Amino acid sequence: MQRLLQLPVNAVNMVKTVQSQVQGQEEAKSPVLTPDSAQQTWYNALQPDELRHLRSSPGTGGSGGGGGDQEERATLEEGGGGGGGSFQTQPLRHDDLKEMLDSNKDSLKLEAMKRIVAMIARGKNASDLFPAVVKNVACKNIEVKKLVYVYLVRYAEEQQDLALLSISTFQRGLKVQLISISAFFVKVSTVLKVKKQSYRFIFSHNKTSSFDFSLDPEQKDQLIEVIEKLLADKTTLVAGSVVMAFEEVCPERIDLIHKNYRKLCNLLIDVEEWGQVVIINMLTRYARTQFLNPNINVSRVQNWVYSETDSSFLFPCMRLFKSHSIALWFLSELFRAVSLPIEQSHDAALIYTAIRKILICCLTHVHVSCFSEVQYVVLQNVATMTIKRRGMFEPYLKSFYIRSTDPTQIKILKLEVLTNLANETNISTILREFQTYIKSMDKDFVAATIQAIGRCATNIGEVRDTCLNGLVQLLSNRDELVVAESVVVIKKLLQMQPEKHSDIIKHMAKLTDNIQVPMARASILWLIGEYCEHVPKIAPDVLRKMAKSFTNEEDIVKLQIINLAAKLYLTNSKQTKLLTQYVLNLAKYDQNYDIRDRARFIRQLIVPTEKSGALSKYAKKLFLALKPAPVLESPFKDRDHFQLGSLSHLLNAKAGGYQELPDWPEAAPDPSVRNVEVPEWTKCSSREKRKEKKVEKPFYSDSEGESGATESADSESDSASGSESGSEDSRSGSESDESKEASESEEEEEEDLKTRKKKEKPLKKPVQESERYIVLINSSQQREGEAGFLCTNDPQFRMNSCRSAETTIAPSSALKSYELLHRITGEGLSVEYCFSRQPFIPDANMVAVQVHFTNNSTSDTKSLHMEDVKLQSGMRVKEFPEIELLPAGETATAVMGIDFCDSTQTANFQLCTHTRKFFVSIQPPVGELMRPFFMTENEFKKEQGQLMGMNEITEKLTLDVKCRNEHAIVQKVTTAANLSRVPCGSDKECRFAGRTVTSSSLVLVTVATKDQGAAQLTVNCEKMVIGTMLVKDILLALTQ
Amino acid sequence: MIDSLFLINHSGDIFLEKHWKSVISRSVCDYFFEAKEKAVDPENVAPVLQTPHHYLISIYRDKIFFLSAIQTEVPPLFVIEFLHRVGDTFLDYFGECSETVIKDNVVIVYELLEEMLDNGFPLATESNVLKEMIKPPNILRSVVNTLTGGSNVGNTLPTGQLSNVPWRRAGVKYTNNEAYFDVIEEIDAILDKSGTTVFAEIQGVIEACVRLTGMPDLTLSFMNPRLLDDVSFHPCVRFKRWESERVLSFIPPDGNFTLMSYQVSSQNLVAIPVYVKQNISFLEAGSCGRLDITIGPKQTMGKTVEGLMVTVHMPKAVLTVNLTATQGTHTYDLATKVLVWDIGKLNPQKLPNLRGSLSMQPGAPKPEEYPSLNIDLKIQQLAISGLKVSRLDMYGEKYKPFKGVKYLTKAGKFQVRT
């Protein structure tokens, strides 16, 4: 913070200088412009048009489009001319905007900004307007302001020096009460590389988050510190953003997660969907480094799924209606994690349900989703999954049936899935389905179907003949593409068992007359060459025909002709010798060097000459070697080493920034690191504990009774014997309707303390009732209600507070007076006010302000009253009763109440006498915005424990020489803030507690003293602004 | 995450660009244009493209390509989901999502994008929250704004964003408190030539329109909840309650939203409301073919079938059609070769029939493929799965709301193969 504060001074200076420069330029420019009549007229001519723009609302279509066209034209001119002309139009047009920006009217400025933003949106360069726009940073109009920021964010990077000038305004902006705007300020200033500041601010107020974290390393440590703090925060709002920041800044610091792991698991369900993705990703990675591979033994899996991940881990997918697809991503990872043979493990019911949920997610997206993009991505993942786990998707086979209206890419993916799913039992249905597909109009799809049939045939021996027959029938298809594709597939199939199918080869040989697709021709020729002994009569004839048309063939066909010739020469040289010679001669003079080379090579190899070497002896072996049949594989086969759902998986290539999931560790790292310290005081009574548990849980959490399980289960997981855990899941595996009771008892069991269990039993009923009550209260009051509820409705609590009230020291009564109206400005009337620290009886939410009037003048003052109260929104004032007469030299006192809404905003009003009106304002020090609250040490600790993370602010300080004893500290603190002392066992610590007046948020202050005046000040407060300001005030009080 | 967003119209002009982290030149879209050229049909452009420095993830909706440029690994669904959310928001704000509307409201669009994505990471995407920060345009407000210099930007922090019910605005007030629920079911089915069901499934959604004051807590229960096995909910629904009691308990968002969606997939439960008798043949010799389609009611549960429509994508070789319909009108688009027969209400006494001849391109070979028929229909006041809402209770508020439930069955992807 301090470093920040240094900035504005420089910045302000810079702003001043530059602004003056800019103004200077402007002044210099305008006289130059005026005499230039030609340009001026152009400008005038344009003006009516511009005015039309102004009048038209942003909602009307025509003029907007017209404006666009006009600008379009201007830029075209610019691009085309590039000479003098363009130089004239460009600055002029922008001059017009500049003029609008410089005007006094907000509406003109707004219009100008709107047009500039429109320019940016269309990708036009508006950077030369930078100085003119930056000037408007301080504009009062919020919309102009926002648009200026939009502009700045866009161009700040390019014009850093200039952008820095606007920093001071942003600094001021941070104090603005409009939080949405101030968040924006921070956003902009981070872009301006002034980061570092007030992350605190942001995270607390608006979840505006994730910044440009490309920081220098020295700042990283500080950032990590902030992140660590934020990770400890318990609100769902922060979780997503923080984990995001964690992933960007320090993903390697996995140690920061330990303590928060279980909390994050529990929060997950309440975090918004985008945050969930990030958290899940992080947790997956964490699980991979911290837990043993669940595949190793089944009971581990249970433990893992049950205890660590917890069922709340699985539920987001069900809850997230809109982003099923996102949950898919995570669940598919879980799928990977538990990809043990499910069929074998009889007690993996839960895993099965989990995976069923994945399936449902996938399936819903496969055919509900009207968005083909989502289908596309989901199907890609399904395709990968089906390779390994066919059994799981089999029951859903029909979901992947193809409709004629699907886009081609979806059709092909579905086909892929269907092919992967094919097995002996369902192949007949699948093939029947394929038959309909072959009739489709979409030729690419038909080709893919034929390939798919080929793959089914290779994988499933039983249907090979049927498939082959079907494919042969397709050879008579009228569409050449279909035939060609069939030929290619048949070739592959025949290679598996050629001896049976010489008639097919013959049939195909006949096709060479008709078929023109090079790939198909090449395939036929290869087949004939390869199996020429099966068709001894036809082969030479085919070669003859081919030799005739050799020159007209494609390269790929020519190569196969040469091959065919060579093979025939070796087997049947009598008939084909001359033909081969002819073909080789033709090839010798071919244009393609590859063919020439091949011809030369083959000639040397097969035609015996004197010179030919040893190789020709082996020619037959070379050419007629037994060739292994091709294996038809899914293109998705090797994809599963990428994380499912990732971009890399989709592209089957490692994308930038892709992190390989670490392998499971060999030995489990110490599980106790995740144990969150449960301070002793919470164990005081089981009832209290239970209550607290319920209260701290987020309102919408569904995972009742889970936190208990997670807390203890980890330590248990290593020790639990197989039989015990087995009995456990048989209970919860039944997916209880009576889950409440069941989980309740389960929880207790896991607590493993039988004595306590007995005690708890009788208490159960009332507890449940009160739980229900809490739910009701919560639903009506939301979260703010929680704290208040604790103190008002729990009788035990109330009793405690009464008891402690007796023991606490009352705040000191030294009240500080502030001047409201000076004697001179008040023409003899002087007014002072002080905060009496008494409860304001008419309204408990108001701060009592005691006002002393002194009439120093010689005449009486009459009818002293308040008028024209100007307040920030939400604030209220209870005026003091009118003082009818204040005689000269007399004093009077009145009390008024102000509800400051827990902020240090000023209350402005007019103080009226019978003759005059004075404008006065009251601004409260932050310490006066609270009232003492009595609590015991245990309560204090408990509350403090709940206000960790962002709600805690710690400062180190050196105490002033005068206040190094306890009494002095208490004195100083209670003077600075209206707090009450909390009794404390240690004499090194002083504790204070209070509640803010309006919202009753707790304010807890701890001053821990150390040697030689060193001390540490900790403030815990739900309202972070209050906390920050309070720290400042108390710090000041203690050090001076 | 997402670095830049480009909106591209049908003809390939980039009409809006927005950058979050740093500016990525629009030339990156050239790779996309290349793929688009190749794909012919805009639906067939691959959603994810790899270029030397960036990854392009795009969606196509409402004749606009939403193209995002990405530099690092990110789950593609995450981006697709977000892009659709952007589209939804535009739809929500401007009533439609088209190029002209986006161009007209470019400033609001820019402000929206600024709020929705922060440094490439999605931030405020709930429409309620957004509407509190940036007010949607309407004519009255724009007139008032021009006169008074007011603004579209809200100056308070949206309250919903900080609460645990981010989907609901605080302080909602209505004079008429009403809650309407529409149970809409779509039949997805594939029938084969002989009329037997190859595949059938019901996709249901419950669309809600809730205008209630304050913070009502609603409970919706069904007569036969066991029917539903695969369900997914709006985030407001308490899942645990559903699991244990099979009731929907929730604090509703304000206005229109989709409460839940479900599917009923066991085939014997899915009733097929109509049967289709069809005969399409192309003669081997002459350049003509015949077409004869008759539609009749099958399992309609005593309700009338309305809005019946048959769409046939004819083979390319079919030049013109010469058909007569006993009911309704038929049109044949020569360019796209789509035959549409709009029947309207199905009269069980007099079954609608369409017959006649198709004239083919002379000399063209007989088409191998037979076109499949896509059927569209509507049945009011019926949820074909038999789902029924039994009651709706409200807690947390004192007034009596007006409650209404409507059922509707539609044909989804209902296809008859020939």
Asked if A454 contacts A467 with a C-beta cutoff of 8 angstroms, the reply is: yes
- The pLDDT score that the predictor gives to residue A26 is 39
**Residue B183 and residue A275: Cα distance in Å, rounded?**
31
DSSP state string for A156-220? TTTTHHHHHTTHHHHHHHTT-S-HHHHHHHHHHHHHTT-TTTTHHHHHHHS----------HHHH
3-state helix, strand, coil in chain A (%, to 5): 60, 10, 30
**Residue A283 and residue A475: Cα distance in Å, rounded?**
54
Give residues 214 to 273 of A whose Cβ lies within 8 Å of B: 236-237, 244, 270, 272-273
- The pLDDT score that the predictor gives to residue B341 is 92
Could you tell me the residue ranges of all domains in chain B? Answer: 2-148, 178-270+384-416, 274-380
Q: Please report the ipTM that was assigned to this predicted complex.
A: 0.82
**Residue A621 and residue A608: Cα distance in Å, rounded?**
15
Neighbours of A708 (CB within 10 A): 19
Token digits for A403?
């409709």
**Residue B315 and residue B418: Cα distance in Å, rounded?**
13
Q: How far is A1020 from chain B (nearest CA, A)?
A: 19
Task: Return mean pLDDT, chain A.
Answer: 66
What per-residue string of b and e applies to A488-509 under the rule 16 or more CB within 10 Å gives b? bbbbbbbbbebeebbebbeebb
**Residue A171 and residue A191: Cα distance in Å, rounded?**
14
Whether B118 has its CB under 8 Å from any CB of chain A: the answer is yes
Q: How far is B349 from chain A (nearest CA, A)?
A: 32
Q: How far is A88 from chain B (nearest CA, A)?
A: 26
Helical H segments across A495-616, by residue range: 502-511, 518-530, 538-549, 555-571, 573-588, 593-606
* Residues sharing a CB contact under 8 Å with residue A99, sequence separation 6 or more, in sequence order: none
**How big is the A-B interface in CB pairs under 8 Å?**
304
Return the closest-CA partner of residue B418 out of B278, B273, B274, B295: B278
Q: How far is A459 from chain B (nearest CA, A)?
A: 25
3-state secondary structure of A848: strand
Contact criterion met (CB < 8 Å) for A699 and B165: yes
User: What is the mean pLDDT of the segment spanning A4-16?
Assistant: 38
- B165 or A352, greater pLDDT: B165
Contact criterion met (CB < 8 Å) for A374 and B369: no
**Residue A158 and residue A173: Cα distance in Å, rounded?**
23
From residue A751, give the alpha-carbon distance in Å to each of A194, A261, A677, A794.
50, 20, 15, 25
Positive/negative CA dihedral, A415, A421, A422, A427: negative
User: What is the mean pLDDT of the segment spanning A473-490?
Assistant: 79
Give residues 271 to 310 of B whose Cβ lies within 8 Å of A: none
Superfamily covering domain B178-270+384-416: Mu homology domain, subdomain B (2.60.40.1170)
In the block, residue with structure tokens 């209880």: A736
Taking the alpha carbons at both ends of chain A, their separation in whole angstroms is: 21
Residue of A nearest to B23 (CA): A154
pLDDT, tens only, A58-72? 433 333 333 334 444
Whether B151 has its CB under 8 Å from any CB of chain A: the answer is yes
Contact criterion met (CB < 8 Å) for B239 and A143: no
User: What is the mean pLDDT of the segment spanning A342-351?
Assistant: 38
Contact criterion met (CB < 8 Å) for A739 and B238: no
Whether B410 has its CB under 8 Å from any CB of chain A: the answer is no
Amino acid type, B19:
H
- The pLDDT score that the predictor gives to residue B7 is 92
Name B405's bridge partners. Answer: B181
**Residue A997 and residue A665: Cα distance in Å, rounded?**
53
- The pLDDT score that the predictor gives to residue B309 is 92
- The pLDDT score that the predictor gives to residue A732 is 37
The answer to whether B2-148 and B274-380 have equal CATH topology is no
**Residue B21 and residue B19: Cα distance in Å, rounded?**
6
Residue of A nearest to B19 (CA): A154
DSSP state string for A45-98? HHHHHHHHHHHS-TT-HHHHHHHHHHHHHHHHHHHHH-SHHHHHHHHHHHHHHH
pLDDT, tens only, A601-621? 888 887 776 665 666 777 777
Contact criterion met (CB < 8 Å) for A403 and B415: yes
- Architecture field, domain B2-148: 2-Layer Sandwich (3.30)
pLDDT, tens only, A922-945? 888 888 888 888 888 888 888 888
- A552 or A229, greater pLDDT: A552
Give residues 313 to 332 of A whose Cβ lies within 8 Å of B: 315, 318-326, 328-329
Token digits for A548?
């005739």
Q: Residue B189: which H helix or E strand, with range?
A: strand B178-191
Shortest CB distance from A404 goes to which of B44, B251, B372? B372
Cβ contacts (< 8 Å) between A58 and chain B: which residues? Answer: 104-105, 107-108, 137, 142
Dihedrals φ, ψ of B383, to 5°? -105, 115
Q: How would you class A438 by CB atoms within 10 Å of its CB: exposed for 0-12, middle for 13-18, buried for 19 or more?
A: buried
Shortest CB distance from B43 goes to which of A58, A206, A407? A407
- The pLDDT score that the predictor gives to residue B340 is 93
Asked if B304 contacts B377 with a C-beta cutoff of 8 angstroms, the reply is: no
Amino acid type, A130:
F
* Residues sharing a CB contact under 8 Å with residue A335, sequence separation 6 or more, in sequence order: A355, A358, A385, A389, A644
Whether B417 has its CB under 8 Å from any CB of chain A: the answer is yes
Whether A642 has a pLDDT exceeding 50, the answer reads: yes
Mean pLDDT is lowest, of A193-197, A565-569, A940-944, for A193-197
Helical H segments across A207-254, by residue range: 217-231, 236-249
Whether A754 has a pLDDT exceeding 50, the answer reads: no
Whether A77 has a pLDDT exceeding 60, the answer reads: no
- A871 or A733, greater pLDDT: A871
3-state secondary structure of B392: strand
In the block, residue with structure tokens 């199918």: A501
Asked if B35 contacts B46 with a C-beta cutoff of 8 angstroms, the reply is: yes
Longest alpha-carbon distance in chain B: 77
Highest average pLDDT, of A748-762, A1006-1020, B253-267, comes from: A1006-1020
Output DSSP code: residue B174.
-
- A357 or B352, greater pLDDT: B352
Whether A277 has its CB under 8 Å from any CB of chain B: the answer is yes
3-state secondary structure of B339: strand
Neighbours of B24 (CB within 10 A): 20
User: What is the mean pLDDT of the segment spanning A894-915?
Assistant: 82
Angle at CA of residue B338, ends B335 and B342, nearest 5° = 130
Contact criterion met (CB < 8 Å) for B73 and A648: yes
Asked if B235 contacts B410 with a C-beta cutoff of 8 angstroms, the reply is: no
Asked if A947 contacts A1021 with a C-beta cutoff of 8 angstroms, the reply is: yes
**Residue A219 and residue A223: Cα distance in Å, rounded?**
6
Output DSSP code: residue A677.
P
Q: What is the mean pLDDT of each run of 10 residues along chain B (418 residues)?
A: 88 87 84 86 85 89 89 82 86 86 87 81 75 72 58 51 64 86 90 84 88 89 81 76 85 84 72 87 76 87 88 85 89 88 89 88 73 90 88 88 92 85
Percent of chain A with pLDDT over 90: 0
Q: How far is B381 from chain A (nearest CA, A)?
A: 23
Dihedrals φ, ψ of A284, to 5°? -60, -45
**Residue A428 and residue A434: Cα distance in Å, rounded?**
10
Token digits for A460?
């499933």
- The pLDDT score that the predictor gives to residue A676 is 61
Shortest CB distance from A146 goes to which of B153, B258, B315? B153
CB-facing half-sphere around the CA of A806: CA atoms within 13 A = 4
**Residue A455 and residue A630: Cα distance in Å, rounded?**
11
pTM beyond 0.80, yes or no: no
- The pLDDT score that the predictor gives to residue B154 is 54
Q: How would you class A537 by CB atoms within 10 Å of its CB: exposed for 0-12, middle for 13-18, buried for 19 or more?
A: exposed
From residue B45, give the alpha-carbon distance in Å to each of B58, B137, B159, B171.
9, 33, 41, 45
Whether B188 has its CB under 8 Å from any CB of chain A: the answer is yes
Q: Provide the pLDDT confidence category of residue A502 given band limits of 50, 70 and 90.
A: confident
Task: Return mean pLDDT, chain B.
Answer: 83
Do the strands A861-870 and A907-912 form a parallel or antiparallel pair, or are they unpaired? antiparallel
Whether A236 has a pLDDT exceeding 70, the answer reads: no
Whether B136 has its CB under 8 Å from any CB of chain A: the answer is no
User: What is the mean pLDDT of the segment spanning A174-182?
Assistant: 46
Neighbours of A265 (CB within 10 A): 21
Contact criterion met (CB < 8 Å) for A373 and B47: yes
Cβ contacts (< 8 Å) between A736 and chain B: which residues? Answer: 244
**Residue B141 and residue B137: Cα distance in Å, rounded?**
7
Cβ contacts (< 8 Å) between B374 and chain A: which residues? Answer: 405
Asked if A606 contacts A617 with a C-beta cutoff of 8 angstroms, the reply is: no
What per-residue string of b and e applies to A1019-1038 under the rule 16 or more CB within 10 Å gives b? bbbbbbbbbbbbbbbbbebb
Whether A325 has a pLDDT exceeding 80, the answer reads: no
pLDDT, tens only, A101-148? 888 777 888 888 888 888 888 888 877 887 788 777 777 777 777 788
Cβ contacts (< 8 Å) between B395 and chain A: which residues? Answer: 776, 779
Q: Residue A819: which H helix or E strand, with range?
A: strand A817-821
3-state secondary structure of B404: strand
- The pLDDT score that the predictor gives to residue A435 is 84
Token digits for B326?
């006993």
Cβ contacts (< 8 Å) between A364 and chain B: which residues? Answer: 230, 232, 261, 263
Shortest CB distance from A143 goes to which of B22, B151, B396? B151
Q: How would you class A175 by CB atoms within 10 Å of its CB: exposed for 0-12, middle for 13-18, buried for 19 or more?
A: exposed
Helical H segments across A293-400, by residue range: 298-303, 316-319, 324-337, 349-367, 372-388, 390-393
Interface test with A, best of B78, B226, B267 (most A CBs within 10 A): B78
Cβ contacts (< 8 Å) between A706 and chain B: which residues? Answer: none
* Residues sharing a CB contact under 8 Å with residue A791, sequence separation 6 or more, in sequence order: A797, A798, A801
Return the closest-CA partner of residue A929 out of A996, A872, A874, A993: A996
Contact criterion met (CB < 8 Å) for A326 and B164: no
- A800 or A474, greater pLDDT: A474
Q: Which CATH number fits domain B274-380: 3.40.50.620, 2.60.40.1170, 2.30.30.90, 3.40.1190.20?
A: 2.60.40.1170
